[in-house]
Amino acid sequence: MERQLACRVDDLADGECLRADTDPPVAVYRVGGAFYATADSCSHEEWSLGEEGEVDGFEVTCSLHMARFDVRDGRALCLPAIRALETYAVEVVDGDVFVAHRRTADTPAV
């Protein structure tokens, strides 16, 4: 995956997430002033985390079945999810937030 524009820094307040229309779509999170990106779809069942997820600190909760994930590394934190989310490198340049390069959940977060 080449670097793609996901959003502007001003599009997200701290503690919010959004669905970026990249290819593939990703969920972008802003936590403590830092940006993180994961696969947009919950690993338990196809449901948008960027549009429907609830962020609490470094955790996002899928509103469909309440699965929780760590946005920093994609780890599934509770059932019904057992698979981690894919994570993506994030780069902020001149107020733009870019995502790039598929990463595994075992790779440290940006």
Domain ranges for the chain: 4-103
pTM: 0.88
- Strand, helix or coil for residue 51: helix
Class in CATH terms, 4-103? mainly beta
pLDDT 10s per residue in the chain (110 long)? 589 999 999 999 999 999 999 999 999 999 999 999 999 999 988 899 999 999 999 999 999 999 999 999 999 999 999 999 999 999 999 999 999 966 545 544 43
What is the pLDDT at residue 76?
A: 96
Unique residue bearing structure tokens 């947009």: 40
Q: Please, how many CA atoms are within 13 Å of residue 60, restricted to the half-sphere of its CB?
A: 35
Q: What pLDDT does 59 receive?
A: 97
